[in-house]
Amino acid sequence: MFKLYDQLKQELYSNIPVGSNGPVIQVEWQSVTGSLSMLNEEHSELVMALIIHHYCTTNDFEKCKKILEAQKGKTAQFEPYRCKTFSTGKGVMVSLDNIPLELQGIIALYVKNASK
């Protein structure tokens, strides 16, 4: 459905240790958050697409679809996990307390790969 998301998720799970309670995802957010705020518009849009995709596939997809269709051509008001791009379109503002750990790992991988 979203090849980039699928590739990052596969990479995430192929590189993490598995504990007694399942995979152990650890993210070094200090390095990631600085990078998130400095992303150009293209990368910011892709990070938001990853966030929206994760939200819609782990929640009510039909509800998400209706919200997104209603916003076509309008300024976005849909802020899954309280994440949004800055008004300039550059950078992504995230609230880590609201982002599931799996998505944190996916975003961290994207930012790491984007900054190479």
Q: What is the DSSP string of the chain?
A: --HHHHHHHHHHHHSS-EETTEE-----HHHHHHHHHT--HHHHHHHHHHHHHHHHHHS-HHHHHHHHHHTTTS-----GGG-EE-TTS-SEE--GGGS-HHHHHHHHHHHHHHT-
Domain tally, the chain: 1
Output 43 or 97, whichever has higher pLDDT: 43
pLDDT at site 39: 81
pLDDT band at 77 (very low <50, low <70, confident <90, very high): low
What residues make up the domain containing 16? 3-114
pLDDT digit string, tens, across residues 101-115? 889 889 988 988 887
pLDDT digit string, tens, across residues 3-60? 999 999 999 888 777 766 666 677 777 777 777 778 888 888 898 889 989 988 888 8
